[in-house]
Structure formats: C-alpha cells, structure tokens
C-alpha cells in the first residue's frame, strides 16, 4: 500500500515547505490554548446531551410534518431542548426563519409597537439590519411603522459608554439590541460577562427594558450564553454555530416566554403563533446539528486563533490578536489592499470541498453599502460555520475569516490563503 508523510501530502496540496515549517511552529505554541478550548467543548457537549436526554428525544421526533404542521412533537421538543441548553423559559426554532437577520427582524417586530424606541448601546448594528431598522430607507422597515431608533457609540477603546447610555435611555426606550460579534466593525467582540454587566446597568435605569442579544457566531464559545446573564431574548442563525454545519436552514429565538410568544405571532400570524409551522423532514438535521455544534465550534475557534498567530507573523494587523481571549469564531485580518483581500479569499475558496475550482469576485451584494467578496465552498449555501471568508471592498481592506467543520480543514484553508498571497508576491516567506 502506498503511503506518504503529512508534509509530502501538504506539498501535493499546494503548500510551500516554508509555510509547512512555520505552521508546525505556530501550532506547537498553541497546545495549551487548544487544551483550554477542549475543556469548554467538553462542558458544552455534556450540556447539549443532558438537554436532549432530559427531553427524552426519540426517533419519533424526527418524523416529517406538512401543511400547517399541527401537533409536530419533534418541533416542539426541539424547542424545549433549545430552551434548556440556553437556560431560557421558551424557544422558537424554525426552518421558516431563513437567516440570523430574519430571526432578529421577527424578534424586533414582534416586541416593538408604533411609538416605541429601539436602542443600540454598542453602536451601529450589522449592515443587513440597517434596512430592517430604517437607518437605510427600505420598504417595510421598522421606521415605517413609527418605531424610532437611537444608538450610543462605543468609546474609542471599544468599551461601553455608560455615561451616554444612561442619558439615552428614556421612557420611550422599549428594547435594547446588543450585537455580540463585531460584524464588519473594527471593535472587539463582547464576552458574555461584559454583556451581563451592560444588561444589569441598563435594567437598573429601566427595569422593564427588553434586552435582546444578537448571538450569531458566539454560541458555545464560552460555557455560558447571554441568556444566562439576564438577556430577555437571544437570537441566532442555525447555519452558523448551533446548526453544527448540518442544519440546512433555520434560526432560533430563545428567552422569556412572553417575548418569544410575541415573536412567534410575527413569524406566523396573530392568534396562530407557535402552533403552526411544518418541519418538512428537517428535524433530524436540526437535532443532529445541535448535538455536533460544540465540537464544530471548537474546530472553528482553534482555526481563528491559528490564523491570528500566522498572519501576525507576517506583520498584518489582526483582531483579536494572537493572545487575546476569544468570544466568537470570527478572525479579522487587515490586509491593506483590495488585491490582498481578493487573494486571501481565492485561497480559502481553493481549499473548499465544494466549488474549489471557482474564483470568488467582489459584487454588489443585497443589504450591503459597497461591493463584498465572499469565499465559501459550503455544503449549505451561506453557511458561515463552514470554512468561509468575506470582506467589504473598502479601506482598510479587512477580511473576516470564520468557520471550518473540522479543525484540519480550516488549518489547510488558512495555509492556502497564505499560499495565495505568496504566489501573488504579496508576502515573503
């Protein structure tokens, strides 16, 4: 039988020997951090397992429903599992929630009424929410329904501006939205502890303020979630962390029963709420994806740390840096030129199991205010828990890398991105 050593295989896969040597050095220095991640993963795996066992998950819960989806015990049990995993009162977990943005929209529209004020204490939210809120004039926005918006920017050092937050909250302020991850902003991702401190501060000013956390990219990175520290609603996408790369679509909203119920009436119809919504045979994937999620997130988290250390070696600004604690799976790398951004994304695409032969190009993607390039050879379209990278084509030309269903695939993808930069003479080895 023909066998070859690992280095030879990497060379066959297009990686320069100097990069292979550097990779070994970086990886060896990360053993202790990776061991810490493994301990978090083990805790979260047991947490998910216990929730499934406590809810007596059985193969009867995998059966498909159609039409109205009345009495879908698989759907209802999955929502109980999610509520237990997040230590929440209730959950809405549906394939009809097509994205994280959609889940956030449903949660906002379900809990805000004309005359209410939506407040962001962490600056401008992710680009695709601008149209939802009405920051950017869009048909169907919250502003068209008489819902106003206010924000307080972070301080220059990325911390909360508590003085101005206290001044901004008024009797009109109904709901505060907290984006955990950075999106395309040059700011830190917030830890669950920091989010809890912010929520506690705001609720002392206005106890009935609804606090909602956009939890995308943060699930299972720590052993606690925002719902453990006072968040009334916690929202995310199933084609990111909690779907484990298996869920083909979907989103979740967990939190207090009243607010989850309000969201369900916006997802379906007033008077119908959670009682309807066929699962069409997707339950198995949603359960299995959640079960695998802690391990998949672990690999993605390791790959982000690995990428930060490699790119720092070549002098690029990275955020978080190679030593900082991690609160989501996203790694930002400032590459300083559009050519370098494109080369990076070409390398990630070339490392994909799907569409590795495709060349990504910048394009005017709906919901964004500039051209965006995206690299993702994914089994599920748009699934950014899978190895992927995207970047707005504008200064300072920062690319956002995330995902990887396995650590070893993500590792190869990062090496391939560096190889692409090297081949285009944008770095020296």
- Give tens-digit pLDDT for 173-193: 999 999 999 877 888 999 999
Distance CA 13, CA 74 (A): 43
Non-local CB neighbours of 396 within 8 Å, separated by 6+ positions: 186, 334, 336
Residue 73 has a pLDDT of 98
Q: What would the CATH number be for the domain defined by 63-290?
A: 3.40.640.10
CA 331 to chain CA centroid, nearest Å: 12
Q: Contact at 8 Å (CB) between 225 and 234?
A: yes
Give the pLDDT mean for 382-387.
94
DSSP calls for 258-295 = HHHHHHHHHHS-TTTGGG----TT-HHHHHHHHHHHHH
Residue 224 pLDDT > 70, yes or no?
Answer: yes
User: How much is the pLDDT for 290?
Assistant: 98
DSSP state of 62: G
Question: Distance between CA atoms of 116 and 33, rounded to whole angstroms?
Answer: 45
Residue 148's beta-bridge partner residues?
117
Nearest CA-CA partner of 294 in 124, 49, 28: 49
3-state helix, strand, coil in the chain (%, to 5): 45, 15, 45
pLDDT of amino acid 122: 97
Instruction: Specify the pLDDT at position 370.
Output: 86
Share of the chain above pLDDT 70, in %: 99
Whether 212 has a pLDDT exceeding 70, the answer reads yes
Q: Distances in Å between the alpha carbon of 246 and those of 63, 267, 287?
A: 17, 23, 9
pLDDT band at 167 (very low <50, low <70, confident <90, very high): very high
SS3 49: helix
Collapsing DSSP states into helix, strand and coil, what is residue 8? helix
Q: CA 161 from chain center: how many Å?
A: 24
Q: Give the number of other CB atoms < 10 A from CB of residue 157.
A: 7
**Of 5-9, 41-45, 220-224, 252-256, which range is least confident?**
5-9
pLDDT at 111 over 80: yes
The DSSP bridge partners found for residue 213 are: 178, 234
The domain ranges of the chain are: 6-44+294-423, 63-290
**How far is the C-alpha of 85 from the C-alpha of 234, rounded, in Å?**
12
CATH match for 6-44+294-423 among 1.20.1260.10, 3.40.50.620, 3.90.1150.60, 3.30.160.20: 3.90.1150.60
How high is the pLDDT of residue 84?
A: 98
d(CA 42, CA 379): 26
Give the residue-averaged pLDDT of 143-163.
97
Per-residue pLDDT tens over the stretch 49-100: 999 999 999 999 999 999 999 999 999 999 999 999 999 999 999 999 999 9
pTM recorded for the entire structure: 0.95
Instruction: Calculate mean pLDDT across residues 159-175.
Output: 98
Q: Which 8-state DSSP code applies to residue 382?
A: T
- Say what the pLDDT of residue 365 is: 75
The pLDDT value recorded for residue 1 is 47
85, 14, 59: which is closest to 420 by C-alpha?
14
Average pLDDT, the chain: 96
Say what the pLDDT of residue 367 is: 66
Specify the 3-state DSSP secondary structure of 172.
coil
Looking at residue 185, its pLDDT comes to 80
User: To 10 degrees, what angle do helices 17-29 and 407-423 make?
Assistant: 140
């Amino acid at each position: 039988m023909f066998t070859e050593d690992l280095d030879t295989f990497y060379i066959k896969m297009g990686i320069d020997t100097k990069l292979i040597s550097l990779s070994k050095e970086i990886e060896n220095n990360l053993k202790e951090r990776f061991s810490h991640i493994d301990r978090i993963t083990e805790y979260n795996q047991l947490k998910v397992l216990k929730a499934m066992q406590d809810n007596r998950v059985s193969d009867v819960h995998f059966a498909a429903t159609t039409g109205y989806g009345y009495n879908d015990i698989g759907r209802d049990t999955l929502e109980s599992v999610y509520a237990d995993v997040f230590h929440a009162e209730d959950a809405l977990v549906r394939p009809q929630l097509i994205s994280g943005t959609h889940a956030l929209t449903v949660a906002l529209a379900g809990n805000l009424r004309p005359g209410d004020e939506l407040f962001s204490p962490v600056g401008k939210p992710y680009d695709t929410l601008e149209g939802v809120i009405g920051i950017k004039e869009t048909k169907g926005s919250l502003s068209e329904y008489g819902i106003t918006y206010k924000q307080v920017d972070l301080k220059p050092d990325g911390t909360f501006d508590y003085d101005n937050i206290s001044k901004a909250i008024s009797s009109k302020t109904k709901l505060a939205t907290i984006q955990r991850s950075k999106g395309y902003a040059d700011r830190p991702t917030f830890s669950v502890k920091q989010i809890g401190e912010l929520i506690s501060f705001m609720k002392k000013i206005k106890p009935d303020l609804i606090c909602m956390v956009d939890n995308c990219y943060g699930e299972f990175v720590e052993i606690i979630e925002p719902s453990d520290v006072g968040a009334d609603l916690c929202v995310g996408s199933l084609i990111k962390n909690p779907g484990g790369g298996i869920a083909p679509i979907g989103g979740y909203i967990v939190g207090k029963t009243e607010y989850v119920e309000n969201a369900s009436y916006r997802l379906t119809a007033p008077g119908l709420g959670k009682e309807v919504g066929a699962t069409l045979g997707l339950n198995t994937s949603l359960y299995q994806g959640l079960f695998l999620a802690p391990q998949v997130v672990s690999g993605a988290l390791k790959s982000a740390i690995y990428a930060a250390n490699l790119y720092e070696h070549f002098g690029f600004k990275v955020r978080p840096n190679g030593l900082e604690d991690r609160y989501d799976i996203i790694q930002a790398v400032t590459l300083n030129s559009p050519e370098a951004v494109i080369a990076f994304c070409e390398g990630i695409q070339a490392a994909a199991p799907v569409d590795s032969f495709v060349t990504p190009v910048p394009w005017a993607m709906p919901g964004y205010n500039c051209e965006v390039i995206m690299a993702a050879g994914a089994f599920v379209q748009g699934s950014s828990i899978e190895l992927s990278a995207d970047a707005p084509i504008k200064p300072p030309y920062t690319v956002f890398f995330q995902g990887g269903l396995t650590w070893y695939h993500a590792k190869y993808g990062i090496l391939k991105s560096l190889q692409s930069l090297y081949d285009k003479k944008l770095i020296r080895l």
